[in-house]
Structure 1
Amino acid sequence: MDPTRAFVKNVKRVVFKVGTAVVTRNDGRLAVGRVGAIFEQLQALNSQGYEIILVTSGAVGAGRQRLKYRRLLNSSFADLQKPQVEIDGKACAAVGQNGLMALYDSLFSQLDITSSQLLVTDNDFKNPDFRTQLSQTVNSLLALRSIPIFNENDAISTRRAPYEDSTGIFWDNDSLAALLALELKADLLVLLSDERVFTKWSSK
């Protein structure tokens, strides 16, 4: 982010959203090098005094890849000849979220950054007390120079399945990022939706 640009002149609080295509490779595995490059830039911004809030996708895709691999290892040859049932998306989210945050915590720790995890659902934002507490918690974390990491809690969401229900207060991580930018009074929202967008942004 070039601080000489007029539109970032008075920016302090920034919400970054990283999409599934940015944090995972084509085979579903986590793109460790790409995520590490993003985090190095977030660390640089954090050290310059910017308040960084991160919204991440990728849990469902990463979880599905891991569960398919485990199912393959535990299947007999006869099992593999049968039609394969699609793995439940909420189970994928639960497994993938665990791996995603483990990677994020490890990478941020290498950069001497403390990160924090906040999982939310659409129903949470219908509660005024939740919204007040959310703002207070995030403000406390940012004051400690910690980077809050948000994701929709797909594993327990009341949606039919991740990404299938486009109703509600938010319906994907792009709309969640926009909602958080409003709720948390961010000065700037940056959406890194795919690898090409990330490459263009990171070269600036």
Structure 2
Amino acid sequence: MNKTARQALTLCKRIVIKVGTSTIMYPNGTVNLQRLEKLAFVLSDLRNQGKEVILVSSGAVGVGLHRLKLLEAPKTIPEQQAVASVGQSELMNLYSSFFFNYGQVIGQVLMTRDIVDFPESRLNAINTFEQLLMKKVIPIVNENDTVAVDELDHETKFGDNDQLSAIVAGITEADLLIMLSDIDGFYDRNPNEDKKAQLFHEVHHITPELFALAGGVGSKFGTGGMITKLNAAEHILERSGQMVLANGEDPTVIFNIIAGEDIGTLFTAKQAN
């Protein structure tokens, strides 16, 4: 008897989890400590179960804005990078504190686009991830906003952490990418504006029609939106991977997803028989 695509998620061993800025911060720009603590608990427990876990975390700029008491992101690249520098250290301090409570060691991995574009640096990145996972460390990944730029011929920026998480899932050959956002999944229209919006439970192909249904950017403190999530899903499907887009309001939902429950939208090339 063939397992359904959802049931097959129970077999996933290497899992990349991406959390958006809206998941770890309140709308007023302060850090959601309760969610960070729950996230540390869930990922540490997955590690205890024998899963290999990689966390791709947004939020450096948002945390930096809060720490510097700024109401909105600055316009210039140097100012943005300065804010990211402050926020990244603050964010890692918070993660270190929460994961320490569960006896889980973490490691920071800051990436720029050129790392995966050049074979030698790409191999070095892969080797780093493999060593961290072998030592039962949870890598926490973010784009290196302090040095990344995207202008003229010098493209070192991923553009958003949705795309980064899909690339990390690819180079580490992860079994599953779980993307936590502030929405329950991918809908045929905006569920915040239309109560008749229908959730896509499974998606097997990313089409122009799906992109037409997606629109807008994410929260005031983030850079993502539904289009960036479809781009990430497209990258995942191109390598026959799997991705679940779900609401990160309660990080323990990760347990339910891995248990094969029908939560969020599953992007998979593997159609159930």
1:50-199 alignment, distance < 5 Å: 50-68=51-69, 88-159=79-150, 170-194=158-182, 197-199=247-249
Q: Please report how far the alpha carbon of residue 130 of structure 1 lies from its aligned counterpart in structure 2 after TM superposition.
A: 1.0
| Whole-angstrom distance in 2 between the partners of 1:190 and 1:48 | 17
Maintained 8 Å contact 1:21/1:195: no
What is the alpha-carbon root mean square deviation over aligned residues?
Answer: 2.2
Maintained 8 Å contact 2:38/2:251: no
Alignment deviations for residues 15-61 of structure 1 (CA, whole Å, 9 cap, x no partner): 00000001111222221111111111111111000000000000001
| Whole-angstrom distance in 2 between the partners of 1:25 and 1:173 | 19
Alignment deviations for residues 121-178 of structure 1 (CA, whole Å, 9 cap, x no partner): 1122221111111111111111111000100011111136xxxxxx877321000000
Q: Kindly provide the amino acid, as one letter, of the partner of residue 186 in structure 1.
A: A
Q: Secondary structure at the match of 1:53?
A: strand
Q: Please report how far the alpha carbon of residue 14 of structure 1 lies from its aligned counterpart in structure 2 after TM superposition.
A: 0.2
Q: Taking structure 2 as the reference length, what is the TM-score of the superposition?
A: 0.61
Q: 1:59 to 1:169 in 2, by over 3 A?
A: closer
Q: Percent identity?
A: 38
Alignment deviations for residues 69-90 of structure 1 (CA, whole Å, 9 cap, x no partner): 6xx9xxxxxxxxxxxx768211
| Whole-angstrom distance in 1 between the partners of 2:141 and 2:116 | 14
Q: Kindly provide the amino acid, as one letter, of the partner of residue 99 in structure 2.
A: F
Q: 1:98 to 1:184 in 2, by over 3 A?
A: same
- Does residue 202 of the first structure (1) align with residue 252 of the second (2)? yes
1:10-25 alignment, distance < 5 Å: 10-25=11-26
Maintained 8 Å contact 1:125/1:169: no
Q: Secondary structure at the match of 1:33?
A: helix
| Whole-angstrom distance in 2 between the partners of 1:175 and 1:57 | 12
| Whole-angstrom distance in 2 between the partners of 1:90 and 1:169 | 12
Alignment: residue pair count:
180
Q: 1:59 to 1:39 in 2, by over 3 A?
A: same
Moved more, 31-40 or 46-55: 31-40
Q: Corresponding residue for 1:77?
A: none
- Greater RCO between the two (CA within 8 Å, min separation 6)? 1
**Gap runs ≥5 in structure 2:** 1-5, 185-246, 257-273
| Whole-angstrom distance in 2 between the partners of 1:102 and 1:199 | 22
Q: Please report how far the alpha carbon of residue 194 of structure 1 lies from its aligned counterpart in structure 2 after TM superposition.
A: 2.3
Deviation beyond 6 Å, 4+ runs, structure 1: none
Q: Corresponding residue for 1:48?
A: 49
Looking at secondary structure, tell me which structure has more helix per residue.
1
1:24-35 alignment, distance < 5 Å: 24-35=25-36
